[in-house]
Amino acid sequence: MDTPDRAAAQPAASRAEDSPVFSFINNLSPIEPLKSAYNANSLQGYQSINITSISSIFTSPHDNAHKEPRLPKSSLGEISESEVCADGKNTNKPTKSSNAVRLFACTSTVTQETHTVTCSDVVDPPTVPCDLAQPAQFDNGSPDHNTTPCHGVRSDLKQDKCRKQDVVQTVKSTVEKRKCLFSTEIQLLDGGQPVNDNNEVLGCEWSDLIATTSGELLAFDSTMDDHHRGMHLAAKNAESCGYLLSKLAGDGEISERAYPNASGQVYYQELVMGEDQTENAQIFQDGQQTISTEEIQDNIYEANGCIPLDYKVESQQQRGVRRRCLVFEAAGFSNSVVQKESVEDLSVSTCKGKGHVQTQPRGLRGIGLHLNALALTPKGKMACQDPMASALLPSSASEKDAHGKLLCAGENFTHSGGELLEFPMDDCSSGGFPLNDHVSSQSVSPQKKRRKTDNGDDGEACKRCSCKKSKCLKLYCECFAAGVYCSEPCSCQGCLNKPIHEEIVLSTRKQIEFRNPLAFAPKVIRMSDAGLETGEDPNNTPASARHKRGCNCKKSSCLKKYCECYQGGVGCSSNCRCESCKNTFGRRDAETELTEEMKQEGEQTENSGKEKENDQQKANVQSEDHPLVELVPITPPFDLSSSLLKLPNFSSAKPPRPSKARSGSSRSSASKATTTLQSCKSSKAAGSGIDEEMLDILKEADSPSRVKTTSPNRKRVSPPHNALSISPNRKGGRKLILKSIPSFPSLTGDSNSGSAMNNTDNTFSASPLALGPS
Chain residues that interact with DNA, rule: CB under 7 A: 378-380, 460, 463-472, 474-478, 481, 512, 515-516, 519, 523, 549, 551-557, 560-564, 567, 578, 733-735
Q: How far is the CB of 737 from DNA (least distance, A)?
A: 10
**Closer to DNA by Cβ: residue 94 or 733:** 733
Say whether 710 sits in a helix, a strand or coil. Answer: helix
**Closer to DNA by Cβ: residue 27 or 516:** 516
> Is the separation of the CB atoms in 149 and 214 below 8 Å?
yes
Q: How far is the CB of 472 from DNA (least distance, A)?
A: 7
**Closer to DNA by Cβ: residue 305 or 515:** 515
> Is the separation of the CB atoms in 608 and 700 below 8 Å?
yes
Smallest CA-to-CA distance from 653 within 664, 641, 661 is with 641
Q: How far is the CB of 570 from DNA (least distance, A)?
A: 12
**Closer to DNA by Cβ: residue 429 or 470:** 470
**Closer to DNA by Cβ: residue 344 or 513:** 513
Rounded to the nearest 10 degrees, what angle do helices 321-330 and 433-440 cross at? 40
Question: Distance between CA 434 and CA 387 in Å, rounded?
Answer: 7
Question: Distance between CA 134 and CA 121 in Å, rounded?
Answer: 9
**Closer to DNA by Cβ: residue 207 or 445:** 445
**Closer to DNA by Cβ: residue 321 or 477:** 477
* Cβ-based neighbour number of residue 202 at 10 Å: 13
**Closer to DNA by Cβ: residue 140 or 377:** 377
Q: How far is the CB of 541 from DNA (least distance, A)?
A: 22
- The secondary structure of residue 571, as a DSSP letter, is B
| CA 435 to each of CA 478, 670, 767: distance values in angstroms, whole numbers, following the listed order | 20, 41, 22
Q: What is the dihedral of CA 530, 533, 534, 539, to 10 degrees?
A: 50
Q: How many residues does the chain have?
A: 774
Q: How far is the CB of 722 from DNA (least distance, A)?
A: 15
**Closer to DNA by Cβ: residue 361 or 517:** 517
Please give the single-letter amino acid code of residue 438. Answer: H
Smallest CA-to-CA distance from 327 within 245, 410, 215, 448 is with 448
Q: How far is the CB of 654 from DNA (least distance, A)?
A: 14
**Closer to DNA by Cβ: residue 399 or 460:** 460
Question: Distance between CA 772 and CA 93 in Å, rounded?
Answer: 44
Q: How far is the CB of 297 from DNA (least distance, A)?
A: 23
Q: How far is the CB of 362 from DNA (least distance, A)?
A: 22
Radius of gyration of the CA atoms of the chain, in A: 24
**Closer to DNA by Cβ: residue 599 or 612:** 612
Smallest CA-to-CA distance from 362 within 417, 406, 323, 412 is with 323
Q: How far is the CB of 51 from DNA (least distance, A)?
A: 39
Smallest CA-to-CA distance from 18 within 251, 215, 266 is with 215
Question: Distance between CA 252 and CA 264 in Å, rounded?
Answer: 14
**Closer to DNA by Cβ: residue 43 or 373:** 373
Smallest CA-to-CA distance from 713 within 609, 639, 626, 637 is with 609
* Cβ-based neighbour number of residue 685 at 10 Å: 13
Q: How far is the CB of 724 from DNA (least distance, A)?
A: 16
| CA 279 to each of CA 170, 272, 287, 350: distance values in angstroms, whole numbers, following the listed order | 18, 8, 11, 15
> Is the separation of the CB atoms in 39 and 171 below 8 Å?
no
CB under 8 Å to 398, separation ≥6 — which residues? Answer: 750, 751
| CA 325 to each of CA 147, 299, 425, 450, 517: distance values in angstroms, whole numbers, following the listed order | 22, 14, 12, 11, 32
* Cβ-based neighbour number of residue 705 at 10 Å: 11
Q: How far is the CB of 169 from DNA (least distance, A)?
A: 45
Q: How far is the CB of 343 from DNA (least distance, A)?
A: 31
Q: How far is the CB of 481 from DNA (least distance, A)?
A: 7
> Is the separation of the CB atoms in 543 and 527 below 8 Å?
yes
**Closer to DNA by Cβ: residue 427 or 564:** 564
| Positive or negative torsion for Cα 103, 414, 425, 433 | positive
How many Cα atoms occupy the beta-carbon half-sphere of 241 within 13 Å? 44
Q: For residue 5, count CB atoms less than 10 angstroms from its CB and return exposed for 0-12, middle for 13-18, buried for 19 or more.
A: middle
Q: How far is the CB of 561 from DNA (least distance, A)?
A: 3
**Closer to DNA by Cβ: residue 659 or 678:** 659
How many Cα atoms occupy the beta-carbon half-sphere of 274 within 13 Å? 41
**Closer to DNA by Cβ: residue 292 or 663:** 663
**Closer to DNA by Cβ: residue 111 or 556:** 556
Question: Distance between CA 661 and CA 652 in Å, rounded?
Answer: 16
**Closer to DNA by Cβ: residue 412 or 470:** 470
- The secondary structure of residue 298, as a DSSP letter, is H
Buried b (16+ CB within 10 A) or exposed e, 635-658: bbbbebbbbbbbbbbbbbbbbbbb
CB under 8 Å to 371, separation ≥6 — which residues? Answer: 360, 363, 364, 385, 421, 424, 425, 627, 648, 763, 764, 766, 767, 768, 770
Q: How far is the CB of 465 from DNA (least distance, A)?
A: 3
